[in-house]
Amino acid sequence: MLDFSLTEEQLQAAAMVREFGAKEIIPTIKEYDRQQTMNPIALPRMAELGILGINIPVRYGGQGFDYVTLGLVCEELERIDTTLRVVMSVHMGLNSMGVLQWGTEEQKQRFLAPQARGEKYAAFGLTEPGAGSDVAGLRSTARKDGDDYIINGEKMWISLATKAHHVLWFAKTDPHAQPAHAGLTAFMVETDMPGVTTGDIHGKLGVRAGSTGWVNCQDVRVPAANRIGEEGEGFKIAMSCLDNGRYTVASGATGLTRACLDASIRYAQERETFGRPIADYQLIQQKIAWMQQWYDVSRLLYLQVGWLKNQGIRNTREVSMAKWYATDHSFKAAHEAIQVHGAYGFSDEYDVERYLRNGRGAIIYEGTSEIHQLMQAAYAFGQREDKPLRCELPAYDEAFWQG
């Protein structure tokens, strides 16, 4: 039996985020976007409201909600502004859920718990100046030295780079391994360690009210206790983290499509030409219908992934499809929303021009649309099969999560 209903708790979590955005973020988001700086209350308030640990078990400092709730929250956050959902993608999807899946009990208490409580902010260090989609091409190294590792390298396009306390860092412990990705290992780098420097990137097309930057490690001594997983498991860990990050991106992009739809409906009912609201014209109605279709399909795709995560079922193919579809169509929705708004859509007086700029980035990060097309073709032809990992993301168990 299929059940598409949401629980009262899930709906309340989404409503809480929606209210937070309406009162505290939306009134000033245009100004922060123009200034290309992050609202200073965003991270502290998300921490106070429990958003930064929404689906982490209570025993590790979280709120104990399930994975579907995470998707609903990300949809509401990006409906407010993409910068808020990006926080959840890196802090929660790419880092905290990775520690939940791969970390030891000691690491969960040491890293995950303060992140879930919002006392520490987390980032994900995979992309480098010369390595993006080609993960095996990264050049960061980690050399064993007694009970420590000496890490050198630079990460680029890192969300929360200058805000994060913890960076889940991927480096080569065996530069001669074949295949090359077999030599990758994951570490938790603490940004107050000697040799760690960070900086912000300005001049971005979108997500301007967010924090994006670089992180550099110069002979950084990292204890072996900070290694996540075993040596050589870095690639598996990174790919599993990307599955979680892609879920937040897909659900967030669904919220962006909804924002475009809401803005377009509102404007079409208010704007008149030739004595009639433009909502009366069939070509405007067509655009609204497209956006509604894109929203409904995107939402169904990400909710399916949330259900699979709740069951403890690996969802690499499904989350790839959800991320690919939702991000491509949120950008299309923003384009159509600007068309509905006409010349006003070309001005930052209205939100839709920001939606277009923000939506463009999601087509690139967490796997480009081209990468996801190749993945889906490989699944369709039977050329790709997902094998069990040593550690799977745990299925949602209410007694454990809330106990």
Residues 127 and 117 in one domain: no
Strand pairing report for 272-273 and 196-200: unpaired
Residues 221 and 97 in one domain: no
Q: Is residue 393 part of a domain?
A: no
Q: Please say whether the beta carbons of 341 and 264 come within 8 A.
A: yes
For 194-238, what is each residue's pLDDT tens digit?
Answer: 999 999 999 999 999 999 999 999 999 999 999 999 999 999 999
Query: Which of 181, 156, 155, 149 lies closest to 169, judged by CA?
Result: 155
Q: pTM for the whole thing?
A: 0.97
Handedness of CA 59, 65, 71, 72 (dihedral sign): negative
pLDDT given at position 42: 97
Residue where one domain finishes, among candidates 121, 148, 167: 121
Q: Is residue 402 part of a domain?
A: no
Q: What is the CATH number of the domain that holds 71?
A: 1.10.540.10
For 181-191, what is each residue's pLDDT tens digit?
Answer: 899 999 999 99
For 83-121, what is each residue's pLDDT tens digit?
Answer: 999 999 999 999 999 999 999 999 999 999 999 999 999
Residue where one domain finishes, among candidates 199, 232, 265: 232
Q: Which amino acid is it at 201?
A: I
Q: Is residue 330 part of a domain?
A: yes
The CA R_g of the chain, rounded to the nearest whole Å, is: 21
Residues 288 and 330 in one domain: yes
Domains of the chain: total: 3
Residue where one domain finishes, among candidates 232, 260, 294: 232
Residues 241 and 364 in one domain: yes
Q: Is residue 401 part of a domain?
A: no
Q: Is residue 178 part of a domain?
A: yes
Residues 176 and 267 in one domain: no
CA distances (Å), origin 92, targets 130, 244, 266:
25, 8, 33
Residues 373 and 241 in one domain: yes
Q: What is the CATH number of the domain that holds 322?
A: 1.20.140.10
Residues 228 and 241 in one domain: no
Q: Please say whether the beta carbons of 90 and 122 come within 8 A.
A: yes
Active site residue 366: yes
pLDDT given at position 132: 83
| pLDDT tens for each residue of the chain, 403 residues long | 678 899 999 999 999 999 999 999 999 999 999 999 999 999 999 999 999 999 999 999 999 999 999 999 999 999 999 999 999 999 999 999 999 999 999 999 999 999 999 999 999 999 999 988 888 889 999 999 999 999 999 999 999 999 999 999 999 999 999 998 899 999 999 999 999 999 999 999 999 999 999 999 999 999 999 999 999 999 999 999 999 999 999 999 999 999 999 999 999 999 999 999 999 999 999 999 999 999 999 999 999 999 999 999 999 999 999 999 999 999 999 999 999 999 999 999 999 999 999 999 999 999 999 999 999 999 999 999 998 899 999 999 999 999 9
Residues 228 and 174 in one domain: yes
Residues 177 and 277 in one domain: no
Q: Please say whether the beta carbons of 245 and 124 come within 8 A.
A: yes
The terminus-to-terminus CA distance of the chain in angstroms comes to: 29
Q: Is residue 399 part of a domain?
A: no
Domain of residue 188: give its range: 123-232
Q: Which of the residues 119, 154, 366, 392 is marked catalytic? A: 366
Query: Is the peptide bond between 388 and the residue preceding it cis, with omega within 30 degrees of 0?
Result: no
Residues 222 and 109 in one domain: no
Q: Please say whether the beta carbons of 132 and 146 come within 8 A.
A: no
- Identify the DSSP state of 93: I
Residues 25 and 61 in one domain: yes
Q: Is residue 2 part of a domain?
A: no
pLDDT given at position 251: 98
Q: What is the CATH number of the domain that holds 210?
A: 2.40.110.10
Q: Is residue 395 part of a domain?
A: no
Q: DSSP E strands: which ranges in 141-206?
A: 141-145, 148-159, 166-172, 184-190, 196-200
Q: Which amino acid is it at 142?
A: A
Long-range pairs for 9-16 at CB < 8 Å and ≥24 separation? 9/65, 9/69, 10/65, 10/66, 10/68, 10/69, 10/72, 11/72, 13/54, 13/65, 13/69, 13/72, 13/73, 14/69, 14/72, 14/73, 14/75, 14/76, 16/49
